[in-house]
A = this chain, B = another copy of it.
Amino acid sequence: MEVKEITNRDTDFAKWYTDVCMKADLVDYSGVKGSMIIRPLGYAIWENMQSVMDRMFKETGHENVQMPMFIPESLLNVEKEHVAGFAPEVAWVTHGGSEKLEERMCVRPTSEVLFCEHYKKIIKTYRDLPKLYNQWCTIVRWEKTTRPFLRSREILWQEGHTMHRTSEEAMAETLRMFNVYKTFQEDYLAIPVITGKKTDKEKFAGAEVTYTIEAMMYDGYALQNGTSHYFGNHFADAFGIKFTDADNTLKVPYQTSWGASTRMIGAIIMVHGDDHGLVLPPKIAPTKVIIIPIGDVQDKLRELENNLKDNNITYKVDDSNKSPGYKFADAEVKGYPIRIELGKRDLENNNVTVVRRDTLEKQVIEYNNIIPTINELLEVIQKDMYERAKKRRDSMIYNANTYDELKDIAKNKPGFIKINWCGNEACENKIKEDTTLKSRCLIEDEEVTGNCVVCGKKAVTRLYIGKQY
């Protein structure tokens, strides 16, 4: 009896995704429309992400703070491009208790304006710079249609907001944190990413430059998984933030912001998951090993548990009253990197069965050799998951040299397409209209020769385009 049946991934990817979210007990729907409940396994993955990223932020000199969650309407309105980008999708608080507020406030959709208001008070001289702050919090965007982790009215994320003496310093910070995201996603989530500048059309409301981390999902769609923005001094200007520089003149500081969210859990599911459910990269899996005892193996089980504890390997034991087959399926759907079948018969030969979640490969190994085997396997799985994802991604990146070719690939082959582009938003819009593909990011390390695939004018850049979540 397969208790946790999951839709086939190639038959209906969207339904497969929801099945994995629900059947791996990552999330549950709530009675609050558009908001989800993050269950223990989903939240433990987020906690691991937080812990690694937070360490990386602190190692690069950042400090955590906590701003208010509300933004008065007049404050949101200070920077014009910014408010235009966010006002249509915020939740408005109009009453406190039984009283109507004098001014309504939105729940933060992002916190640039709150940080700017604070920076105005605490930045006086160049000695106060840089200010390198980060905040872990929940933001709210009033989405019409929602999907677990990918698009939700409430989003758990971190947002870094920094202020710098010079534009060069701010740009260096923008790129530094962009690289932190890249390293984190490649090294910990085993997700190969495509990175680069957003086009002007796709950049963050109020930013001068947006760098994006784009990952390709199993179905060829892009998921924007983290962005790092350079603001110049747009906001600082609008907020009247000034500092006295060493030369005793008043100057306006330069600003960045950067954010990544629980969306990355969606990426893990859609890059690594399979027809059996979730597959967690060992480095981010809250529990590395699931032990399934078969028959009366109590003594060896205790011994193994102590052994794992002593070696700092996280584990769980499934000692429920279910059948081994049910337990195997449940271990698979929940994505534990390694399953140990601790069976009476195996143990009589001093053996134990170990199963890799990523390949479902079984091996019978010597019981005494279990710790080194697990440690080695965890490393191999992490590496193989990355390589496998990269191979698949690379096989789904295409070149389109003409507009017909572009349309043909867009129609028939899921994935990203590389094109020559003139830099004109009209061409970007036409592609979107004809194919639903949007710009992912500029390709900065490829030589540009030839013409824009849309209008035929001289190309100024190479560009990734693709469908997106």
Contact = CB atoms under 8 A, between A and B. Distances in A.
Contact of A32 (B70, B89, B97, B320): B70
Interface in A132-174: 133, 137-138, 140, 142, 153-154, 156
Contacts of A98: 88
Nearest to A131: B40
A96 interface: yes
Interface in A279-317: none
Given A97-B142, A138-B137, A320-B127, A30 B91 contact: no
Contacts of A70: 32, 35, 91, 153-154
Contacts of A32: 68, 70-72, 75, 105, 114
A83 interface: no
Interface string A54-97: 00000000011111111110010000000000011111111111
A63 to B, nearest CB: 4
Interface string A99-128: 000001101000000100110011000010
Interface residues of A, number: 56
B114 A75 contact: no
Given A37-B68, A38-B66, A43-B65, A28 B88 contact: no
Nearest to A140: B69
Contacts of A35: 68-70
Contact of A30 (B93, B118, B133, B142): B118
Contact of A37 (B30, B92, B118, B127): B118
Nearest to A103: B33
B94 A92 contact: yes
A175 interface: no
B36 A65 contact: no
Say what secondary structure dominates the interface of chain A. Answer: mixed
Contacts of A87: 97
A156 B68 CA distance: 11
A176 interface: no
Given A31-B72, A89-B97, A90-B97, A156 B66 contact: yes
A377 interface: no
B117 A68 contact: no
A405 interface: no
Contacts of A409: none
B64 A44 contact: yes
A44 B63 contact: yes
Contacts of A96: 89-92, 142, 153
A66 B37 contact: yes
A92 B90 contact: no
A319 to B, nearest CB: 11
A197 to B, nearest CB: 29
5 contacts: A32-B75, A32-B114, A40-B63, A93-B94, A127-B321
Closest 10 CB pairs of A and B: A35-B68, A96-B142, A40-B63, A38-B66, A92-B95, A32-B68, A94-B94, A91-B93, A88-B97, A43-B64
